[in-house]
Structure formats: C-alpha cells, structure tokens
Chains A and B, each alone.
Chain A
Amino acid sequence: MTLLNQAVTWIIENPAQFNRALGQHLLMSFVSILFALAIGLPLAVVILNRKAAAFLAVNSVNALRTLPSLAILAIMMPILGIGLWPSIVALTILALPPILLNAFIGLRDVDPDALEAATGMGMSRSQILWKIRVPLAAPAMFAGLRTACVQVLAGATLAPFIGGGGLGDFIAVGIAGMDMSRLLVGAVPIAILALLAEFLLSMAERLLFSERNPAT
C-alpha cells in the first residue's frame, strides 16, 4: 500500500513527465491500431476469394502471432533503428493478426444461406460484400479490434527497449533502479488502460450488435 501511495505521490509531483509518457503510450497504441485496421481490413477482403493468397496470409499472420512481442521489437531495432516509429511498426505487427484473422474468418463464414438468397435475388458481388458480408462480419471484426487494442496497450510496455517511450519507461527505470514504486507508476496505469479498453469495447460491442441477438 505504501508503495502504491508513493507511486501516486510521484505522479502528482511529476505531472508533466507522467502525462508525456501516458500521451506517448496512447499515441503509439492508437496509431498502430489505425495502421493495423487500414492494412488488415482491406487485406481480409482481398484474400476472401483467393484461396492461395488467403492460405499465405493466414499462415504468415499466424506465424507472426507466435513471435513474442519482445522478439518483434528486437527485430525492428536493426531494421528501423530506435524511437517512436519503430515502436509503432512493431505494435502494428502485433495488432495485425487478430484484426486480419477475425475479419477474414468473419467475412468467410457468413451464413451461406444468406449469401445464396442475396445472389438469387440479384445482388452484385460488391452489393453482397457491402450489404451482406461486411455487416454480418462486423461483430467478428469488432472482437478482433478489441483483442488488438488490449494486446497493443499491453505490448507498448516494451517500447522503451527500442526507445519508443510510453508508460513502459517507468517500469524500465523502476527495474533498473530497483525502485518498486516507480515501477508501479508505469504498471498500474497500463493495467488500468488495458482493462478499460476491454470493458469499453465490449460494452460498445453489446450496444452495437445486441438487436440481432435479442434475449426474447
């Protein structure tokens, strides 16, 4: 408890430093999620009707998923150097698998009867994509986004290893100096952010898609 008090006191006494780290953390996470969405969602559509491309993409992304976050960061360093951008690239790679896989599986596994009916009534391929597949896959896509957000917020903790900054800085400093209260200055807000993201996004998910699965 005293450790936590010390951590809070430190935050109150060093608001500028804390806010800067928090801002970096959120910026890194937000930008990499945007990148992952911008790459993952169109890619899911592109590979939808291309068996070989889908096989390749799904397997590459699954391979990526087995890499530990730290390894991704370590690989980035010799390629991109250090700083904020390499961290964003690494986090984008971290966010891509859940977004791409959920979107692809969601789009692929849309109710075949709905597709048959849509084709039979005279919808074009693009109408089927936009009016049927995408809305029906939206809950799966959203679930992918939720997983990605939590992973990225947590994964950004490692950004200091390649000079990316963020709340992980306090953890790194805390470990280096054996200062547990400083470590908590980073660890507690990261945990809260991850839990908050999970909570808010699952609330949003329920609000957005509840009408289709009514309790009645």
Chain B
Amino acid sequence: MIEMEHVTKRFDGGGTAVDDLTLEIPQGVTVALVGPSGCGKTTTMRMINRLIEPSEGRITVNGEDVRSVDPVIFRRHIGYVIQQVGLFSHMTIAQNIGSVPKLLGWSADKIKARNEELIALVGLDQSMLTRYPRQLSGGQRQRVGVARALAADPPVLLMDEPFGAIDPIARTRLQNEFRQILQGVNKTVVMVTHDIDEAVRMGDRIAIMRAGKIVQYDTPDEILSRPVDAFVEDFVGADRALKRLSLYEVSKVMQPGVDPAAAAKIAPDADLRNALSAMIAANTDRLAVVNAAGAPVGTVTRDAITAL
C-alpha cells in the first residue's frame, strides 16, 4: 500500500512539477499514472522511492514514512523498471538479475535458483542467463529488466514507461504478458505511461494527471464511461466506448444456446471490441462463441454488447 498525502514538488529554478497530489494505492493493485508529457508522472513515481525528495507532503509505503528510512536500503525492497532498462553491460543476464539479491547478501545457490525461476517467469530461455545484454533484443532486455526488478520479491514495483522503447507489435504482446505476470505476483505496482491504451490494458486503476495534479482516479471502466471533464474526455479519445469494450471478454455477455443462424464465430476469451468488429465485418448482429476445441458454447449478440 502506497499513500501520498498533499505531495508537492518544486524544482529549483523550475515550476511546480507535482502540485498538492493525494493518491492512495491499495496493496496488490496496479495503478497506471497517465497523462501528457511533462505533467509530472515520473516525478511523482520517483518520489516514492526517494530518487526525488518532495518539497511538501507525506509519502508512506506499507505504513512507513519514506523519510524515516535509509533511502539506499529502502530501495532494495522496491522494484524499479525504467524505459531504457539500464542493464549493466559488463555483467551477464544472470548477474544483472541477481543484483539486488546480491546486495541483500543472498547465497550464490539461492541467487542461482531465483534467477532460473525469474527467467522462466518472464518467458525467456535458461540459456539467456549466461549471455550479455548486448546479445539480446529490446523486448528481451525489457523482460530481463522486469525480472531484475522482481528478483528480491519486493512488495512494490515502480515502472516508468516500461514499454516505451519497444516496437508496437512486440509491445502489445509484452503488455498482455506482463499483465498476467503482475496478476500472479500480488504486487502493488505504479506504472507510468503517456499511452492511454497501455494504461487501460495494464491498470486495475488509472490516475490521469494534468499539470502536476490528478484529475481523475478510477477504474478503467469508470474513466472510459464517465470522464470527469473535457480534458479527460479528450485524453481518453473519441473511441472511448470501443476502448471500454476491450476491457471485457466475450464470456461476460455470452448467452447460452447455440444459434444456427450465426454467420461468424468468436472465442470466449476474445474481447468485446473484437467481437463487435467481427460482427461489423460479417454484417451480422450475432456471433457463435466457439471454444478452443471448436465446439460451440453459446451466442453473443450486438444488443448484449451495447447494453454493457
């Protein structure tokens, strides 16, 4: 759990980067901090692990005021992932992932076992452990960056534009995979992004920022269905209704019974946006829902989707 209370950051010679910001992130929840460039997302995040000291306000992590602890020791218990990853090019992947455990004084055997576990968790082959960062692709490096951040099993994970340097095709896949990984590890996660689609895809909650303030802090569904003002409405985009549909799977609105008239098929775990798109493509108002084995399990109608 992370609490920020009336936090302000003024830089010397600069303006107010973060302005009287209050934010509460419950244990185990992933919050996407999203907003236009320069609105103070990175500054907000870096105050949590004390890479930046707030000018005013109070920040607690799991009940502990971050000012009361030694920042260096404290950071070892907070995972940190940055856009450019920042792998250590003179170290192997194994040494990179084992950096924090080594700082914490784990035994070599324990570090080795943990490395093997993590490299599998982020979907890489064990043979990668003996390689050097330069031998990996951008996407592989970002996976290693996440493995490194998770190494000592920190309760909190901070990620600043973790997919920003990855090409768009690999990005979507990585986002979906990381969403799965994060759901499995029960971390409190703060993820900074300027991309509303990424925020919708990754966040349990979304905090939309503008000029150092949070303008709306809600679930993706709420943000997309009820933006609080014109700024949020504009930021989430004119296709917000479609974005909202992508939050849900076909199985959520599926009706029992197989309709022999259905002209096209869809999988139960496809999202509703794709279902609607399939209907438009087939010029129909209902789809047969077909499981992986090819057996029909139900029907999804356009009315059911739009009623959501």
Q: Which residue in chain A gives the minimum CB-CB distance to B149?
A: A121
Residue among B51, B80, B85, B148 with most chain A CB within 10 A: B80
Cβ contact of B86, chosen from A113, A211, A214, cutoff 8 A? A113
Q: Are A123 and B72 in contact (CB under 8 A)?
A: yes
Would you call A122 and B132 a contact (CB within 8 A)? no
CA distance A122 to B76 in the complex (A): 5
Contact B82 A122 (CB under 8 A): no
Q: Are B75 and A121 in contact (CB-based, < 8 A)?
A: yes
Q: Mark A113-127, 1 if CB is under 8 A from B, else 0.
A: 111111111111001
- Across the interface, which residues of B come within 8 angstroms of A115, CB to CB? 86
Q: Is B84 an interface residue (CB 8 A)?
A: yes
- Determine whether the beta carbon of A135 is less than 8 Å from that of B90: yes
Any A CB within 8 A of the CB of B230: no
| A127–B100 alpha-carbon span in the complex (Å) | 12
Taking the nearest CB of chain B, how far is it from the CB of A204, in angstroms? 16
Task: Report the separation of the CA atoms of residues A72 and B220 in the bound assembly, to the nearest whole angstrom.
Answer: 72
Question: A214 near B80 (CB under 8 angstroms)?
Answer: no
Instruction: Determine the chain B residues whose CB is within 8 A of the CB of A117 once the complex forms.
Output: 80, 82, 85-88, 145, 148
The contact of A214 among B49, B84, B85, B132, by CB within 8 Å, is B132
Give the nearest-CB partner of B103 in chain A. A122
Chain A-chain B contacts (Cβ-Cβ < 8 Å), number: 69
B90 touches A127 (CB 8 A): no
Please tell me if the beta carbons of B76 and A114 are within 8 angstroms of each other in the complex.
no
Q: A212-B132, A213-B134 are in contact. Are A124 and B86 (CB under 8 A)?
A: no
A4 within 8 A of B: no
- The answer to the question of B74 belonging to the interface, with a C-beta cut-off of 8 Å to chain A, is yes
Contact A132 B74 (CB under 8 A): no
Chain A residues contacting B103 (CB-CB under 8 Å) are: 121-123, 127
- Whole-angstrom CA separation of A114 from B133 in the bound complex: 12
Known interface pairs A121-B75, A211-B132. Does A136 touch B89 (Cβ–Cβ under 8 Å)?
A: yes
The reply to whether the CB of A49 lies closer than 8 angstroms to some CB of chain B is no
A47 to chain B, nearest CB (A): 23
Interface residues on A, range: 20 to 34
Instruction: Tell me the bound Cα distance from A132 to B51 in angstroms.
Output: 18
User: A136 and B134: CB pair below 8 A?
Assistant: no
Distance of B139 from chain A, by nearest CB (Å): 16
Residues of chain A within 8 A (CB-CB) of B158 are 120
B99 within 8 A of A: yes
**Is B86 a contact of A212 with CB atoms below 8 Å?**
no
**Chain B proximity of A216: nearest CB distance (Å):** 6
A135 and B73 CA atoms in complex are apart in Å by 23
Q: Which residue of the partner chain A has the closest CB to B77?
A: A122
Say yes or no: A122 contacts B73, CB within 8 Å: yes
- Residues in A whose Cβ lies below 8 Å from that of B51: 119-120
Contact with B along A183-216 (1 / 0, CB 8 A): 0000000000000000000000000000111101
Neighbouring B residues of A179 by C-beta, 8 Å: none
Chain A residue nearest to B75 (CB atoms) is A122
B134 near A212: Cβ-Cβ < 8 Å: yes
Residues in A with CB closer than 8 Å to B77 are 122
A127 and B145 alpha carbons, distance in the complex (Å): 19
CA distance A112 to B86 in the complex (A): 8
B100 engages A121 (CB within 8 Å): yes
Given A117-B85, A118-B99, A212-B134, 4 more pairs with CB closer than 8 A: A118-B88, A121-B99, A127-B103, A136-B88
What 10 pairs between A and B have smallest CB-CB spacing? A117-B86, A122-B76, A113-B86, A120-B80, A122-B75, A113-B84, A135-B90, A114-B86, A124-B72, A121-B100
Q: Can you give 18 A-B contacts (C-beta < 8 A)?
A: A111-B89, A113-B82, A113-B86, A114-B86, A114-B88, A117-B85, A117-B86, A117-B88, A120-B75, A120-B80, A120-B82, A122-B74, A124-B72, A135-B90, A136-B90, A211-B132, A212-B89, A214-B134
